[in-house]
C-alpha cells in the first residue's frame, strides 16, 4: 500500500510540475517550446525527446492531456510492479526518438505522446499478461479512451499525429519487452536449515 501511495504522490507531483512548467512557459511567451521542443532531424532538437512531454502550446492543450494522464497514470501506479521507470523510459526515448527521426517539420510538444504510450502499454499488457487486473485495466482504458486511436492518423493541423502514433507503438513495445505481472512473486528471506 505504501508503494501505491508513493507512486500516486509522484504522479501528482508530475502533474503539478506540468502545470508549473506551463505557467512559466506562458509567462515567457512560450519561449520554452522554442528552446526545448522536439525538432525532427535537427541536432538542436534532440533534447526535445525529453522536453516534448512536459511542454504545451496552451493551458487548453495541457488541460486536454491532464485527465488521461491522471487516469492512466493511476492505473499504471496500481497495476505495474517494479518496471514503471523502464516503461516510461521506453515510451519517452523510443517514441520521441522516432518522432525526431521521422516526424514532420515542426516543433513537437505535448504530453500526448506519453498519453498514447501509456494507452498502448496498458492495452497491450492486458492482452500479453491476461491477468484479470491487467485485462480490466485494458478494458477500462479501451472503453474510456479507445476513440483516441483515430488521432494517430494525419489530418488535423497543429496536432502531432506522429507523437501519438510513435507513443502508442512504443507503449506496445514496452509491454512486449518488459513483462510485468501485477502480483509478481517476491523473494523473501528464507530460513536455511
149-161 per-position pLDDT tens digit: 887 778 777 888 9
Q: Is the pTM of this model over 0.75?
A: yes
- Asked whether residue 104 carries a pLDDT value surpassing 70, the answer given is yes
Number of H helices, E strands in the chain: 8, 0
Instruction: Tell whether the torsion through CA atoms of 57, 157, 49 and 17 is positive or negative.
Output: positive
- Residue 147 gets the label, from left (phi > 0), alpha (psi -120 to 50) or beta, of alpha
47-63 per-position pLDDT tens digit: 999 999 999 999 999 99
Amino acid at each position: 500500500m505504501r508503494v501505491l501511495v508513493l507512486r500516486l504522490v509522484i504522479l501528482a507531483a508530475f502533474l503539478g510540475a506540468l502545470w508549473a512548467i506551463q505557467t512559466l512557459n506562458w509567462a515567457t511567451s512560450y519561449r520554452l517550446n522554442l528552446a526545448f521542443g522536439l525538432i525532427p532531424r535537427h541536432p538542436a532538437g534532440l533534447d526535445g525527446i525529453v522536453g516534448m512531454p512536459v511542454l504545451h502550446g496552451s493551458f487548453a492543450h495541457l488541460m486536454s492531456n491532464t485527465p488521461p494522464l491522471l487516469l492512466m497514470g493511476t492505473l499504471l501506479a496500481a497495476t505495474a510492479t517494479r518496471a514503471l521507470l523502464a516503461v516510461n523510459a521506453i515510451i519517452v526515448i523510443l517514441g520521441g526518438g522516432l518522432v525526431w527521426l521521422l516526424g514532420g517539420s515542426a516543433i513537437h510538444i505535448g504530453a500526448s505522446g506519453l498519453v498514447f504510450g501509456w494507452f498502448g502499454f496498458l492495452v497491450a499488457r492486458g492482452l500479453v499478461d491476461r491477468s484479470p487486473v491487467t485485462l480490466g485495466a485494458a478494458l477500462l482504458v479501451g472503453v474510456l479512451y479507445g476513440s483516441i486511436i483515430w488521432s494517430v492518423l494525419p489530418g488535423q493541423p497543429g496536432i502531432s499525429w506522429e507523437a501519438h502514433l510513435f507513443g502508442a507503438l512504443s507503449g506496445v513495445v514496452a509491454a512486449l519487452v518488459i513483462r510485468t505481472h501485477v502480483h509478481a512473486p517476491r523473494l523473501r528471506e528464507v530460513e536455511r536449515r
